[in-house]
């Protein structure tokens, strides 16, 4: 029996009772195309992250970066000028915590004037390209849900002054979603609820979108991938690129010093000898509180979703299966009585791969410390921790007029 024909699939049945035979035929065809095996990960959701043996990984810290600033900067700028650096903006998420029904990057973070999140990110990138005197190709990952709006927003605002032909959009893949009883959720009577498949598949999605030729044609050797929601994000940072190259690593991760042992950030370390990220809930108290001789935390640096990857290595790992994380989210759906419900609290599962698992596929990774007051202002919520309010405060601290 097909999964959508099972007894408990009340949302599908209710939809089919309302549809015309033609609509149901189309719906069945649509269901046939979907890979429902992702639902099997629900049983494995506790063990997806069964981990190996963690060990600390030395970061390049601010003192050293300051001391070697000129050297790192020169190497990074050279690489940018040689056209070897590209950037990928991860903007396919739905920002459900923020509760926006348009792309997160269209959020106005200004107060007395309009300043959009996308705009601020482009400005941050332009700081670098002005210094280098060369552009960095920017690829923007969207999903089917926000692609048209995202593209239209860039068009409407003249790409915020960045050359249009340096910006390319590509769409990530989608996965079905279900409620806690594994019942397929429906977006409408004729469409299942589909969600973006996480930020881990970004390189595969670029390949699927035919962008590999573009990458090769441009001769890109490094790709800096970053999240849409950190408005202080430094993109294609020459020092970060220079340090990763100077250390001879194939990847780098920007990290911030943990504010406290129990801070809820994923920590960059090694796992069975390979670079890895230990989530805060995976760390024992002993691990979280262990200190080095100089008093610093042994596992003291958290990731901020800004990574640099050697392009060649990305091609090597692109077909490898990444762990699928089962995440509880608010998923709007069509109820059995035909009403469209926008839940106030998480009501089901989405299935996502995560870019942080890509780090574990690298042979090595350089944790590169940045000053959180200057580079880390994520906007996940409207108020409170990691919010629009806190980000505005941090932006002001960096002299950005709002």
The DSSP letter of residue 159 is G
Using CB under 6 A as the binding rule, whether residue 77 contacts ligand UTP is answered as no
Using CB under 6 A as the binding rule, whether residue 97 contacts ligand UTP is answered as yes
Closer residue to ligand UTP, CB minimum distance, 4 or 226: 226
Which residues 371-390 are close enough to bind ligand UTP by CB under 6 A?
380
CB of 292 to ligand UTP, least distance (A): 30
Q: How many residues make contact with ligand UTP (CB under 6 A)?
A: 21
CA atoms within 13 A on the CB side of 398: 19
Q: Which of 56, 76, 86, 92 lies at the binding interface for ligand UTP (CB under 6 A)?
A: 92
Using CB under 6 A as the binding rule, whether residue 95 contacts ligand UTP is answered as yes
d(C-alpha 27, C-alpha 205), whole Å:
25
d(C-alpha 182, C-alpha 152), whole Å:
36
Stretch that binds ligand UTP, among 93-101, 203-211, 241-249, 340-348 (CB under 6 A): 93-101
Stretch that binds ligand UTP, among 35-43, 84-92, 249-257, 384-392 (CB under 6 A): 84-92
Using CB under 6 A as the binding rule, whether residue 141 contacts ligand UTP is answered as yes
Using CB under 6 A as the binding rule, whether residue 79 contacts ligand UTP is answered as no
Using CB under 6 A as the binding rule, whether residue 228 contacts ligand UTP is answered as yes
Helix (H) or strand (E) holding 87: strand 85-90
Using CB under 6 A as the binding rule, whether residue 253 contacts ligand UTP is answered as no
Stretch that binds ligand UTP, among 27-35, 67-75, 94-102, 393-401 (CB under 6 A): 94-102
For the record, the structure tokens of 64 come out as 């050293």
Stretch that binds ligand UTP, among 114-122, 161-169, 192-200, 215-223 (CB under 6 A): 192-200
CB of 74 to ligand UTP, least distance (A): 30
Q: Is 275 helix (H, G, I), strand (E, B) or coil?
A: strand
Closer residue to ligand UTP, CB minimum distance, 233 or 250: 233
CA atoms within 13 A on the CB side of 154: 25
Closer residue to ligand UTP, CB minimum distance, 77 or 227: 227
Q: Residues 170-206, buried b or exposed e (16+ Cβ, 10 A)?
A: bbbbbbbbbbeebbbbbbebbebbbbbbbbbbbbbbb
Q: Which of 56, 76, 86, 93 lies at the binding interface for ligand UTP (CB under 6 A)?
A: 93
d(C-alpha 108, C-alpha 94), whole Å:
16
Using CB under 6 A as the binding rule, whether residue 229 contacts ligand UTP is answered as yes
Measure the CA dihedral 279/281/283/288, to 10°. Answer: 100
* Chain position whose Cβ is nearest to ligand UTP: 93
- What does 164-214 look like in DSSP terms, one character per residue? GGGEEEEE--EEE-EETT-PBPEEETTEE-EEE--STTHHHHHHHTT-HHH
Residue that the structure tokens 């209710």 belong to: 14
Which residues contribute to the site for ligand UTP (CB under 6 A)?
A: 90-98, 104, 141, 172, 196-199, 227-229, 352, 380
């Amino acid at each position: 029996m097909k999964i959508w024909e099972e007894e408990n699939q009340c949302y599908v049945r209710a939809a089919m009772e309302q549809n015309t035979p033609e609509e149901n035929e189309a719906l069945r065809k649509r269901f046939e195309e979907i890979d429902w095996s992702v639902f099997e990960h629900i049983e494995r959701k506790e063990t997806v992250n069964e981990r190996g043996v963690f060990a600390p990984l030395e970061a390049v810290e601010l003192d050293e970066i300051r001391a070697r600033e000129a050297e790192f900067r020169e190497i990074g700028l050279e690489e940018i000028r040689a056209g070897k650096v590209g950037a990928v903006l991860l903007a396919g998420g739905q920002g459900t915590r923020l509760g926006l029904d348009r792309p997160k990057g269209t959020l106005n973070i200004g107060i007395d004037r309009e300043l959009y999140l996308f705009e601020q990110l482009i400005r941050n990138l332009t700081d670098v390209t002005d210094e280098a005197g060369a552009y960095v190709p920017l690829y923007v990952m969207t999903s089917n849900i926000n692609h048209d709006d995202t593209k239209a927003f860039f068009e409407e605002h003249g790409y915020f002054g960045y050359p249009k032909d340096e910006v390319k959009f590509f769409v990530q893949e989608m996965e079905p979603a279900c409620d806690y009883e594994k019942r397929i959720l429906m977006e409408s009577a004729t469409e299942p609820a589909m969600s973006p498949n996480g930020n881990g598949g970004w390189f595969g999605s670029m390949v699927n979108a035919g962008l590999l030729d573009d990458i090769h044609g441009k001769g890109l050797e490094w790709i800096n991938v970053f999240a849409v929601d950190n408005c202080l994000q430094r993109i294609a940072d020459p020092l970060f690129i220079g340090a990763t190259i100077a250390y001879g690593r194939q990847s780098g991760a920007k990290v911030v010093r943990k504010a406290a042992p129990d801070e809820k950030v994923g920590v960059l370390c090694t796992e069975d000898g390979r670079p890895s990220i230990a989530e805060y809930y995976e760390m024992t108290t002993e691990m979280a509180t262990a200190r080095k001789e100089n008093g610093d935390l042994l596992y003291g640096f958290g990731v901020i979703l800004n990574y640099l990857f050697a392009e060649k290595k990305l091609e090597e790992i692109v077909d490898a299966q990444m762990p699928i994380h089962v995440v509880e989210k608010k998923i709007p759906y069509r109820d059995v009585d035909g009403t469209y419900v926008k839940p106030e609290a998480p009501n089901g599962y989405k299935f996502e791969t995560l870019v942080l698992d890509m780090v574990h596929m690298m042979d090595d990774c350089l944790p590169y410390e940045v000053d959180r007051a200057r580079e880390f202002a994520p906007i996940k919520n409207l108020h409170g921790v990691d919010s629009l309010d806190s980000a505005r405060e941090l932006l002001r601290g960096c002299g950005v007029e709002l």
